[in-house]
Amino acid sequence: MNSWEHAKAKLDTTPFPSDYVSTWSTFGGGENHSIGKIDHPLTTYVKVIGKINGYEVHAKYNFCEDCREIRNKRLALINNEDYVVYIKNILVHGKSV
């Protein structure tokens, strides 16, 4: 197994960070989710949580202030050398994956 494949396997067992908001940066904008005909804006938070085999690991989640819930959570392994990203979705549309 090469370094990238090993890093992906390790990411699959990496837990999502449990410290929310205080050490995260807000990112982007314009994302939302809908309940019926009502759109709710989402706040996106991101941070670099470390490295695996030299590849950066980014954590990202979306929070809906109106619903007071996290809607999406994911970890991303970034391979800048080959321009490849490996995504581990943990929560999508408020549901565990």
Question: What string of pLDDT tens digits covers the 97 residues of the chain?
Answer: 689 999 999 999 999 998 766 688 987 777 888 888 999 999 999 999 999 999 999 999 999 999 999 999 999 999 998 999 999 999 999 999 9
Check: CB of residue 32 under 8 Å from CB of residue 40. yes
**Residue carrying the six token digits 């314009």:** 30
CA 29 to chain centre: 15
C-alpha pair distances (Å), 3 with each of 15, 73, 89:
20, 25, 21
Would you call 22 helix, strand, or coil by DSSP? coil
Predicted structure pTM score? 0.87
**Residue carrying the six token digits 């396997």:** 9
